[in-house]
Amino acid sequence: MFEQIVPKKFVVEQSVFILDSHGSVSKEVDLVILDEMYTPYIFRQGHLKFIPIEAVAVAIECKSENLDGEVISTWRKSIEKLKTSDRGIARLFGHVQSKEPSQQTKKEGQSKECGVPECLIQKRGPRKLTQTGTRPILILCHMSKQSKDCENATVDLEKEFDITLWAQEKEDNRSIRVAVNDRFKELSDVYKRLNHHPYHEAEYEDAIIKNANLDGLSLDNYRIRKGVEEVSLLTLNFMLNQALMLINNPMFFPHLAYVERFRKELNSENKNEQS
């Protein structure tokens, strides 16, 4: 279904793990949607597939009728703790973006990530950023038969995800209920939470571009109905793709950050084998 909804630059992968350059790895993810145009990296170890967090646009958890709130919450937290790196090096119009320290800076011991005075991008003066750290859109798909009431675990779990797809069947009538987290409804919130993760209000107010044109625009504006019934797949199509366009492109892939991580892991394994 998702392959038919998202643009062709995205690829859907099943049963993968998401990792970051800091050494954290998520729980197994049922489905991920990743952008292969900028970050075509899937690391494999035997039958296991690992995808860098920078490449992942959407992470999807699929459940049937059994919803274990604790397990699902742990799954979500394992993804939200992953952090992108801003150490990508790329040529842009008019300059080369790099936050790697120069050799002189290294000699002086000033090699802090994100704080290098010799940043080529900073030579043109401080600038507001539209993207400081991304995270995937989190979607829960399930077929729970619980009724919707105030004590329903299904409704509580919807608060853990950005979008929830609830497949329901009543006699011969099949439908999908599309629910959007209140913290993810306004387009300004979608932009902030996907492009400035982890999101902190004070830091956002001080350092990041704010777009007043997004104020007052909600994902609920993208719902499509035929009479009183919602055309769920069309609604999902427009909602999801609008959210993806607010990410637009992933962060430049931080090759060197992953090189350092793999070196560290391999050297650690080598020491363990020798001891």
How far apart are the C-alpha atoms of 206 and 124, rounded to whole Å?
A: 19
Q: What is the pLDDT of residue 92?
A: 80
pLDDT given at position 116: 40
- Inform me whether the pLDDT recorded for 163 exceeds 60: yes
Residue 117 resides in a domain: no
Domain for residue 101, yes or no? Answer: no
Is 128 or 45 the better-scoring residue by pLDDT?
45
Is there a domain that residue 104 lies in? no
Across residues 242-267, what is the average pLDDT?
Answer: 92
Q: Is residue 103 included in any domain, yes or no?
A: no
Mean pLDDT along residues 25-38: 91
Residue 111 pLDDT exceeds 80? no
The pLDDT assigned to 242 comes to 95
State residue 123's pLDDT score: 43
Range from 135-144, 161-170, 217-226 carrying the lowest mean pLDDT: 161-170
Within a domain: 29: yes
For 77-89, how does the pLDDT look when each residue is reduced to its tens digit (9 = 90+)?
999 999 999 999 9
Residues 174-215 pLDDT 10s = 788 899 999 898 998 899 899 988 866 655 565 555 666 777
* 3-state SS, residue 82: coil
Total residues found in the chain within this entry: 275
d(C-alpha 15, C-alpha 32), whole Å = 8
> Does residue 29 surpass a pLDDT of 70?
yes
- Print the domain residue range for 68: 2-86+132-274
**Is 179 contained in some domain?**
yes
pLDDT score for 121:
42
User: Which pLDDT tens digit goes with each residue over 221-248?
Assistant: 999 999 888 899 999 999 999 999 999 8
Point out the least confidently predicted range of 111-115, 162-166, 175-179: 111-115
Please report whether residue 258 resides in a domain: yes
DSSP H or E run through 139: strand 137-142
- Around Cβ 222, how many Cβ atoms within 10 Å? 20
Does the structure show a pLDDT above 60 at 150? no
How many domains does the chain fold into? 1
Confidence label for 125 from pLDDT (cuts 50, 70 and 90): very low
Torsion sign across C-alpha atoms 240, 241, 245, 250 = positive
- What is residue 68's predicted lDDT score, i.e. its pLDDT? 81
Range list of H helices, the chain = 2-5, 69-80, 103-107, 153-158, 187-195, 201-207, 232-247, 255-274
pLDDT of residue 115: 46
Q: How high does pLDDT run on average in the chain?
A: 82
Please check whether residue 25 lies inside any domain of the structure. Answer: yes
